[in-house]
Amino acid sequence: EDKVVQSPLSLVVHEGDTVTLNCSYEVTNFRSLLWYKQEKKAPTFLFMLTSSGIEKKSGRLSSILDKKELFSILNITATQTGDSAVYLCAVEHHASGTYKYIFGTGTRLKVLA
């Protein structure tokens, strides 16, 4: 069965800490993996990863994909209270003649001042 699993489910840290969020997947014909940040409303796009070993970086956030071990990590350094959110991982893959999209259930991050 195709699946995307995120860990941990939730995390509480203090400002300035570094966190690593995990996303593992089991799908046929992987195409891409996306990370999103969801605060109170809409998910906002962070990164799209398609190639293994190439780090995507934006400010204090970075992400990398390992297509051999079937996982991705999202790193946040020097966390701030504004980083508090649910972080979603999603995978696009090809099965049964069509593209399919599987979202993980998310990691809830709370950053304390």
Partner 1 sequence: NAGVTQTPKFQVLKTGQSMTLQCAQDMNHEYMSWYRQDPGMGLRLIHYSVGAGITDQGEVPNGYNVSRSTTEDFPLRLLSAAPSQTSVYFCASSRQLGLPQHFGDGTRLSIL
Give me the residues that bind partner 1 (CB under 8 A), please. Answer: 4, 31-32, 34, 41-45, 48, 88, 90, 92, 99-106
Find the shortest distance in angstroms from Cβ 31 to partner 1: 8
Smallest separation (angstroms) from partner 1 to the CB of 62: 18
Cα–Cα distance for residue pair 20/5, rounded to 1 Å = 15
Q: Which is nearer to partner 1, 76 or 90 (CB)?
A: 90
Could you tell me the maximum CA-CA distance found in the chain, to the nearest angstrom?
49
18 or 44: whose CB is closer to partner 1? 44
Minimum CB distance to partner 1 smaller for 20 or for 105: 105
Give the pairing type, strands 10-14 and 107-112. Answer: parallel
